[in-house]
């Protein structure tokens, strides 16, 4: 995931925290697809990334993943745990999707006939980049 994040960010000069966040969001989504979509049996995942922005200054990074696992019809049923509840009742697990939502500007899922498409949009503010 770190390698994928490094490739997506090549030449853009992000700081360590932003690169780590991108790698973490991808890591969590890949782990979820592997564990829940492919039931830990492995399968193909297509990945693409593009920068969008204004006046030549990239600020939005869109990463799309496409798997060939059984389509999920309603992702809202698997939003993960609310960390607020952990303060009084710490439990392990369920944090992956929460982290993805926390990191991304938007996180969208589209069920397909033969799989799922996932779109992660990262809003990288100017103060988060280095020159």
Partner 1 sequence: MSLHIETEHAGKAASVTVKGDVTIQTSPELRNELQPLFSSDVEVVRVVLNGVEFMDSSGIATLVEGLQWSKISGGRFVLSGLSETVRDVFELAKLDTIFEIEG
- Residues lying near partner 1 in the complex (CB under 8 A) are found at 2, 16-17, 20-21, 23-24, 27-28, 31, 83-84, 86-87, 90-93, 95-96, 98-99, 102-103
Provide the minimum distance between the beta carbon of 55 and partner 1 in the complex, in angstroms, as a whole number: 29
Could you tell me the smallest distance in angstroms from the CB atom of residue 89 to partner 1? 9
Instruction: Please state the closest distance from residue 17 (CB atom) to partner 1, in A.
Output: 5
Structural tokens at position 44: 């193909």
Alpha helices in 1-131 (DSSP H): 2-8, 16-32, 96-103
Closer to partner 1 by CB, 99 or 119: give it: 99
Check: CB of residue 118 under 8 Å from CB of residue 66. yes
Alpha-carbon distance 104 to 61, whole Å?
10
């Amino acid at each position: 995931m770190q390698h994928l994040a490094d490739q997506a960010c090549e030449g853009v000069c992000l700081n360590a925290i932003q690169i780590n966040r991108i790698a973490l969001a991808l890591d969590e989504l890949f782990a979820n697809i592997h564990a829940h979509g492919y039931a830990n049996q492995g399968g193909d995942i297509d990945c693409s990334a593009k920068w969008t922005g204004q006046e030549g200054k990239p600020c939005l990074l869109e990463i799309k993943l496409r798997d060939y696992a059984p389509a999920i019809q309603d992702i809202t049923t698997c939003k993960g745990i609310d960390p607020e509840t952990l303060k009084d009742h710490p439990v392990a697990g369920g944090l992956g999707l929460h982290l993805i939502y926390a990191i991304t500007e938007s996180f969208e899922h589209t069920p397909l006939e033969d799989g799922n498409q996932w779109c992660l949009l990262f809003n990288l503010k100017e103060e988060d980049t280095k020159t």
